[in-house]
Amino acid sequence: MTHTQIKPDFRWSQVDTVLLDMDGTLLDKYFDDHFWEEFVPKVFAEKNNLSEEDARKALLQRYQSVENTLQWTDLDYWSDRLGLDIPELKCKVDHLIQVHPYVSTFLDYIKSINKEVHLVTNAHSKTLEIKLRKTALGSRFDRIVCAEEIGYAKEQPEFWGKLEKHLAYQKSRTLLADDTARVLRAARDSGMGFLVFVARPSSRIPVEFSPEFPSITYFNELIP
């Protein structure tokens, strides 16, 4: 079902701090989707003498069992569970890591108007290292926070209270952009001031606006 876009309606004078998710928000989620749904099942199938389809079904069940937890993004956990070197496999397809259009322009803009900007991601520190090396985005942020540092995934309510203390932002004057509605709901419940849903996390899927959050396709929509 296609929803009508709820357009973001705020003024930058109302915002002091910007929190940005990484995968699907700043970076094209096609890399992650391809890696976990196609590449890992292929390697797992070869190693365990399975068909790719059987391997994919088995892995999807394992993925779903730890969704919305820190284990889902923990590369060491998956290396151990699957008997594969997951960081090494990510490096083999890192040519697929791409920054979404207008991200650099947006980061330049929010710096030009003197906003603090933090990268806040569920990604494991080893994933973060691979992606920042590939994209050179790391220097654009005041702080970079992985969920493992906080001890909770962003979908969990506890994450946002701990993050607020960790970064010392005023939540009523903070904007969060993320491509996951469950994350935005948890942030909203914590009292986050402004929320933006990224409606096209992967370049390979159609735009799907949120029925409950202001949505953008690309970050140029937030530049006046």
137: domain CATH number is 3.40.50.1000
Q: Which residue has the tokens 């970079």?
A: 144
pTM of the model: 0.95
Which residue, 66, 95, 124, sits at the end of a domain?
Answer: 95
108 in the same domain as 87: no
What would the pLDDT profile of 126-147 be if each residue is shown by its tens digit?
999 999 999 999 999 999 999 9
**Quick one: average pLDDT of 45-63?**
96
91 in the same domain as 183: no
User: Based on the structure, what is the number of domains in the chain?
Assistant: 2
Q: How is 142-201 classified by DSSP, letter by letter?
A: SEEEEHHHHTS-TTSHHHHHHHHHHHT--GGGEEEEES-HHHHHHHHHTT-SEEEEES-S
Work out the percent of the chain whose per-residue pLDDT is above 90.
Answer: 96
79 in the same domain as 110: no
Please list the residues that pair with 146 across neighbouring strands. 121
- 43 contacts 84 by C-beta, under 8 angstroms: yes
167 in the same domain as 87: no
Structure tokens at 179: 């491509």
117 in the same domain as 212: yes
Three-state secondary structure string covering 28-59: CCHHHHHHHHHHHHHHHHHHHCCCHHHHHHHH
Question: What span, in angstroms and rounded, lies between the C-alpha atoms of 50 and 60?
Answer: 15
Which residue, 74, 95, 116, sits at the end of a domain?
Answer: 95
Which residue, 40, 68, 95, sits at the end of a domain?
Answer: 95
In-domain check, residue 81: yes
What would the pLDDT profile of 34-52 be if each residue is shown by its tens digit?
999 999 999 999 999 999 9
122 in the same domain as 79: no
| Cα separations in angstroms, 68 against 32, 65, 85, 177, 193 | 15, 9, 22, 18, 23
180 in the same domain as 136: yes
128 in the same domain as 211: yes
132 in the same domain as 196: yes
Write down how long the chain is. 224
- 121 contacts 23 by C-beta, under 8 angstroms: yes
Domain residues for the domain of 213 are 12-28+98-222
What would the pLDDT profile of 160-194 be if each residue is shown by its tens digit?
999 999 999 999 999 999 999 999 999 999 999 99
